[in-house]
Amino acid sequence: MRKTCAVCGAPVQLATIDKSGEYSPLKVSVQAMPAAKCTHGHAAPVEPEFMLWLIRELKEKEGTLPAARETGMLFFKKYTCACGAALAASSDRREVFSFDMAHEGYPAFKAQVEMPVYKCTGCGKEQLRSQQAIRGDTSQAVVKLHDAAGFPHAG
């Protein structure tokens, strides 16, 4: 763990944060995520690579969620269910998916990913639009989470 604050140089202690970051349409929230905090109220990730680890872990866990197949390019993308039918053009609701997270050597915490789900026009199964879209948005939503936590930027 970090020994000193990245902002003021004061000693840090292990603490937790509850924050969210949104990169539409995806929202990432954490509860009791470990962080390094100093007595002046500054916070930083417990390790320099922690936020990259979080992105990788979320993408891996999101890969297990039901999602349609994406085909086409740019404005001509199509999303089809495993049954072969198209997904509805718009989403009626959003769903929250919760994950247990644990970075080696630190207390476990919860992460939630909230995103729209789409109904298949053929079989009625609700699913994400595509894994590709989710993965791209995850990185950006974690950057927003980083900023919401007040973590300093490197460099």
What is the secondary structure of the chain as a DSSP string? --SB-TTT--BEEEEEEEEEEEETTEEEEEEEEEEEEETTS-EE-SSTTHHHHHHHHHHHHHTTS-BPEEES-GGG-EEE-TTSPBBPSS-SEEEEEEEEE--TTS--EEEEEEEEEEEBTTT--EEBS-HHHHHHHHHHHHHHHHHHTTPPPP-
| 41 located within any domain | no
| 112 located within any domain | yes
Would you say the pTM of this structure is higher than 0.85? yes
Q: How many domains does the chain have?
A: 1
| 34 located within any domain | no
Which residues span the domain enclosing 73? 18-29+47-148
Residue-by-residue pLDDT tens, the chain, 155 positions: 999 998 999 999 999 999 999 999 999 999 999 999 999 999 999 999 999 999 999 999 999 999 999 988 878 889 999 999 999 989 989 999 999 999 999 999 999 999 999 999 999 999 999 998 888 899 999 999 999 999 998 74
